[in-house]
Amino acid sequence: MDVTVRIADQPGDLGWIVMANAEVYAQQFGWSTDYETLVARIVADFAEGSASERQQAWIAELDGRRIGCVMCVDAGEDVARLRLLLVTPDGRGHGAGSALVDACLDFARRSGYRTMVLWTNSVLESARHIYQRAGFELIAENPHHSFGVDLVGQDWELVL
């Protein structure tokens, strides 16, 4: 069973990103539909700017089914933002998360970005390990109450 990573350009890809994020984080962490609203907003903003050559989204597949996603969007001033990295529970353990982050980083470098940033929450331990292995550095942490729970938000940065 090999993971493949492809550009998210097929019908249903963007809707799957919203649905998968909402379902996985509700099941794993009890996050409310406020998170789904945030993801839908992020995906809609991405779709509106999809003609841009400086942003892209990817889907990871295992045996032809979607198991993961990530986006690279323009954050301004030669800064790329990694968004919505997710690997579904049944897709974990096959290297999909690292493959998605690698695709995002390769794209950002080819697109001329100098830095990549991301925001995550401390409870997303597997994602944090992927970011650390890729060379990201934690630059800030802030407790917050979002999606119906208490969380610790984290800002990460990587000079490309």
Single pTM value for the model: 0.95
Domain boundaries, position 76: 3-112
In a domain, 151, yes or no: no
Q: What is the CATH number of the domain that holds 7?
A: 3.40.630.30
In a domain, 49, yes or no: yes
Per-residue pLDDT tens digits for 109-118: 999 999 999 9
In a domain, 38, yes or no: yes
In a domain, 149, yes or no: no
Per-residue pLDDT tens digits for 30-59: 999 999 999 999 999 999 876 678 999 999
Strands of the 137-146 sheet, one edge to the other:
3-7, 56-62, 65-74, 79-87, 115-121, 149-159, 137-146
In a domain, 141, yes or no: no
Average pLDDT of span 97-112: 97
d(CA 147, CA 139): 23
Please state the domain count of the chain: 1
pLDDT given at position 49: 79
From residue 50, alpha-carbon distances to 55, 143, 147 in Å are: 7, 32, 27
pLDDT given at position 38: 97
In a domain, 102, yes or no: yes
* HSE-CB of 157 using CA atoms within 13 angstroms: 9
In a domain, 138, yes or no: no
Question: Is the pLDDT assigned to residue 72 strictly greater than 80?
Answer: yes
In a domain, 146, yes or no: no
